[in-house]
Amino acid sequence: MTSIADRVAGPTRAEPADAIAPAAAASAPAISLPVGGERELRLDLFRGMALWLIFIDHLPPNLLTWFTIRNYGFSDATEIFIFISGYTAAFVYGRAMLEAGFVVATARILRRVWQIYVAHVFLFTIFLAEISYVATSFENPLYSEEMGIMDFLKQPDVTIIQALLLRFRPVNMDVLPLYIVLMLFLPLILWLMKWRADVTLALSVALYAVTWQYDLYLSAYPNGFWAFNPLAWQLLFVFGAWCALGGARRMSRILSSRITLGISFAYLFAAFCVTLTWYFPQLNHLMPRRVEQWMYPINKTDLDVLRFAHFLALAAITVRFLPKDWPGLKSPWLKPLILCGQHSLEIFCLGVFLAFAGHFVLAEISGGAGLHFIISISGIVIMSGMAWVISWYKHSADKSASRTKSTGGNADMAGGG
Amino acid sequence: MKSNSAAVLSLTLLAGLLAAVPACADDAAPACDVPAYLLTTESALPKVADALKTGHPLDILVVGSRSSTINTSDGSAYPGRLQAVLRERLPSVAVNVSVELQVKKTAEEVAAGLVKLVEGKRPTLVIWQTGTYDAMRSIDPDDFRGAVDEGVAALQNAGTDVILMNLQYSPRTETMISAPPYLDNMRVVAQQHDVPLFDRFAIMRHWNDAGDFDLFSASHGLDLAKRVHDCLGRALSKFVIDAAHPAQQN
């Protein structure tokens, strides 16, 4: 399983001037931006992969689920997604902030936040339609208790308002609200980074620690909490931003050391062994009880340290073994992934919609594993096709727009959700 | 676009080939068999074992939410089936299963009343089915874990054996109810207190995947519910007997 995220600006091996990342090291006071030009295809590749995996994870478990990284370690596609989103957002809007100033950059970020918000509300509408249908057509005495979940339909007014406030979020619709909150704070993050990047990262770690120490969370409607706690997940986002703004380059020595590599592999292997015991309960007795008691539960809501470390290990190995000029990145085989990664907000929303639709089809037609597999695959084909259409619009149908070379704040590039 | 579809197609084929391996490992079983590992537990039921050894009556109390019942009165829900099967398999023991339904209550609310329930009935074993209502209300999983922890401790102090039973596998509401945090936390509590966990979720999912039951479908009547509960009762009786005789498994 390869799906992994990475960091770019700091190439592990010093690549000579090949247009993308290095350069401009000395440009800005506290942060440095890579010069623009070609896109960093590795980011697109892994974000595209994260989108596919999120889609598959949102469907009921089936054959393809075996390909998602959450089966092989602690972290999953969400980590990749949030990290890359932080990276690209900082990359794009950080430049805007240096070139056009705080106000303009903030304005652009807020426009992006609005787009994501609208996308979220759109998805909620579709969700509501699906639920209402299920609620009216489902009569199974076996699940009379579970059907109580539809009770919120009795108060559509409250529910819809709470959804608009991002407090009512059905399962699988948690990522966009998290992203909205993180993007809202991006101006502040970038402003702090411009001042002192390392201090900003330290503050982020401190907030993470305080969140764990005092069990801070955002409440949800009708009760409960946000399934992705922004107070904890900001760590990945800020870390991504920090890497984009020069941190990755400064870490390059650590990243290329053999010790890092060894630790990463050892940790990934250990995590893999642990996850094996989840899927083959027969192996469970091999796990020392003391380790189990210390380790479980691995908290996704608050981005467990084990998950974060797992992501770091994956990232370190990826950066090491996948150079950014890897010829495979230009190969047509990876094109669908890269295209999806380049239009992440649209494709993410489409993925959530397709997961709903897939659920719906599975519920209506009892087709078994075969149908399940077909649905997963057609979802991925549709996502790739849509990404291709969107990029066609951008480059051919909408030529005049694409000719105005982006001056930073290109929403598409910072996209995500 | 041509290259795109070619890529996807070959990915598909590759995926199919590789994925076939784990799929084959799980052969379709005849009607509602449960693989042994789902009914194996390291934790024991000393009080039940005592009762079986000495021939004392075996009183079992099921504390559960609405998924511990179906809308019939003839004992076709799993507690009734459990009683029937246990009586059949343990002819020398007086088995009595009673049910205490705690509808629309969170684990915290149920835990608070557990001791009182046990004092009244003095059961040998309490089977506590919980998690569904908490998952539906998305109670903070940490609070949920605390409540289950407290409840199990109270039951153990009161001198009964305990089995925890988790949520039903309900594919149709999967997009609405997030079960995993509650499943995980119940597993943790079971481990901490060394009590057996009857993994109803995994067992029902196994039946669904193996084709024993189509739990996805919308329009099943009472018949499916009865058959599922019958199977649950039988699996549960095997689980209870095995946990009371750990030596037999090894």
- CA separation for the pair B71, A398 (Å, rounded): 61
Contact B67 A146 (CB under 8 A): yes
Contact A139 B133 (CB under 8 A): no
Distances, alpha carbon A114 to alpha carbons A40, A184, A314, A352, A405, in Å: 26, 10, 32, 19, 23
Contact B65 A145 (CB under 8 A): yes
Whole-complex ipTM? 0.77
Instruction: Tell me which residues of chain A, numbers 164 to 183, contact chain B at a CB-CB cutoff of 8 Å.
Output: 170-172
Distance from CA of A136 to the nearest CA of B (A): 10
- CA separation for the pair A360, A135 (Å, rounded): 12
Q: Which two tokens stand for residue A157?
A: 């007014």
pLDDT tens digit sequence for B130-176: 999 999 888 888 889 999 999 999 999 999 999 999 999 988 787 77
Contact of B249 with chain A, judged by CB distance below 8 Å, is answered with: no
Provide the domain count of chain B.
Answer: 1
The residue-averaged pLDDT of B208-231 equals: 82
Q: Considering CB atoms only, which of A67, A134, A356 is closest to B172?
A: A134
Segment A118-124 long-range contacts (CB within 8 Å, at least 24 positions apart): A119/A176, A119/A345, A119/A349, A119/A417, A120/A166, A120/A173, A120/A176, A120/A177, A120/A180, A120/A417, A121/A163, A121/A164, A122/A349, A123/A173, A123/A176, A123/A349, A123/A352, A123/A353, A124/A163, A124/A170, A124/A173
Contact B71 A144 (CB under 8 A): yes
Contact of A143 with chain B, judged by CB distance below 8 Å, is answered with: yes
Contact A64 B217 (CB under 8 A): no
Q: Which two tokens stand for residue B116?
A: 């009182």
Closest to A94 measured CA to CA, from A207, A171, A200, A18 = A200
Is A60 a member of any domain? yes
Domain of A225 in residue numbering reads as 41-403
Closest to B219 measured CA to CA, from A356, A59, A143 = A143
Q: Which two tokens stand for residue A55?
A: 């889609």
DSSP structural state of residue A244? I
Q: Which two tokens stand for residue B210?
A: 């193996």
- What is the predicted pLDDT for the residue at A66? 78
User: Residue A286 corresponds to which amino acid?
Assistant: L
- CA separation for the pair A55, A51 (Å, rounded): 6
- CA separation for the pair B111, B109 (Å, rounded): 6
Mutation for testing the A interface, residue in B132, B173, B191 having most A CBs under 10 Å: B173
Contact of B101 with chain A, judged by CB distance below 8 Å, is answered with: no
Q: Considering CB atoms only, which of A64, A333, A381 is closest to B19?
A: A64
Is B201 a member of any domain? yes
- DSSP letters spanning B100-164: EE-TT--HHHHHHHHHHHHHHH--SEEEEE-SHHHHHTT--HHHHHHHHHHHHHHHHHTT-EEEE
- CA separation for the pair A212, B38 (Å, rounded): 34
Contact of B94 with chain A, judged by CB distance below 8 Å, is answered with: no
- CA separation for the pair A33, A412 (Å, rounded): 18
- What is the predicted pLDDT for the residue at A3? 35
Contact of A213 with chain B, judged by CB distance below 8 Å, is answered with: no
Cα-only R_g, chain A:
22
- What is the predicted pLDDT for the residue at A34? 56
Instruction: Tell me which residues of chain B, numbers 199 to 228, contact chain A at a CB-CB cutoff of 8 Å.
Output: 202, 209, 211, 214-222, 224-225, 228
Distance from CA of A377 to the nearest CA of B (A): 7
Distance from CA of B93 to the nearest CA of A (A): 31
Contact of A381 with chain B, judged by CB distance below 8 Å, is answered with: yes
SS3 of residue B180 by DSSP: helix
Provide the domain count of chain A.
Answer: 1
- What is the predicted pLDDT for the residue at B219? 63
Contact of B12 with chain A, judged by CB distance below 8 Å, is answered with: yes
Distance from CA of A222 to the nearest CA of B (A): 7
Domain of B137 in residue numbering reads as 41-244
Distance from CA of A10 to the nearest CA of B (A): 31
Q: Which two tokens stand for residue B33?
A: 């068999």
Instruction: Tell me which residues of chain B, numbers 141 to 200, contact chain A at a CB-CB cutoff of 8 Å.
Output: 141-142, 145, 168, 170-178, 181, 184-185, 187-188, 191-192
Segment B2-9 long-range contacts (CB within 8 Å, at least 24 positions apart): B3/A332, B3/A333, B3/A335, B4/A332, B4/A335, B4/A336, B4/A339, B4/A384, B4/A385, B4/A388, B5/A381, B6/A332, B7/A332, B7/A333, B7/A334, B7/A335, B7/A336, B8/A336, B8/A377, B8/A380, B8/A381, B8/A384
- CA separation for the pair A55, A59 (Å, rounded): 7
Contacts of A36 (CB under 8 A, 6+ apart): A95, A408
Contact B141 A281 (CB under 8 A): no
Task: Give chain B positions within 8 Å (CB) of A215.
Answer: 142
Closest to B59 measured CA to CA, from B129, B118, B130, B128 = B118
Distance from CA of A161 to the nearest CA of B (A): 18
pLDDT tens sequence for chain A (417 residues): 333 333 333 333 333 333 333 333 333 445 565 555 456 889 999 999 999 999 998 887 777 777 888 888 899 899 999 999 999 999 999 999 999 999 999 999 999 999 999 999 999 988 888 777 777 776 778 888 888 877 777 788 888 888 899 888 777 788 899 999 999 999 999 999 999 999 999 999 999 999 999 888 888 877 777 889 999 999 999 999 999 998 888 888 888 889 999 999 999 999 998 888 877 766 777 777 777 778 877 888 889 999 999 999 999 999 888 888 888 888 889 999 999 999 999 999 999 889 888 887 877 776 667 888 889 999 999 999 999 999 998 888 776 554 544 444 444 444 433
What pTM does this model have? 0.76
Across the A:B interface, residue pairs with CB atoms under 8 Å apart total 177
CA angle in degrees (0–180, nearest 5) for A199-A80-A41:
100
pLDDT tens digit sequence for B15-54: 444 444 333 333 333 478 899 889 988 888 999 999 988 9
Strands (E), A175-259: none
Contact A141 B225 (CB under 8 A): yes
Contact B38 A281 (CB under 8 A): yes
Distance from CA of B98 to the nearest CA of A (A): 20
User: Residue B65 corresponds to which amino acid?
Assistant: S
Distance from CA of B169 to the nearest CA of A (A): 9
Contact B185 A388 (CB under 8 A): no
For residue B66, pLDDT over 70 is answered with yes
Contact of B23 with chain A, judged by CB distance below 8 Å, is answered with: yes
For residue B13, pLDDT over 80 is answered with no
CB-based burial, A316-336: b 16+ in 10 Å, e otherwise = bbbbbebebeeeebeeeebbb
Q: Which residue of A has its CA nearest to B23?
A: A63
Distance from CA of B100 to the nearest CA of A (A): 16
Q: Considering CB atoms only, which of B7, B138, B172 is closest to A333?
A: B7
Q: Which residue of B has its CA nearest to A377?
A: B12
H/E stretch holding B58 reads strand B58-64
- CA separation for the pair A360, A80 (Å, rounded): 28
Q: Considering CB atoms only, which of A281, A282, A366 is closest to B217?
A: A366
Between B10 and A393, the more confident residue is: A393
- CA separation for the pair A362, A385 (Å, rounded): 22
Q: Which two tokens stand for residue A159?
A: 């529910």
What strands lie across the sheet with B197-198, from one edge to the other? B95-101, B58-64, B125-129, B161-165, B197-198
Is A16 a member of any domain? no
Is A14 a member of any domain? no
Contact of A132 with chain B, judged by CB distance below 8 Å, is answered with: no
CATH code at position B168? 3.40.50.1110
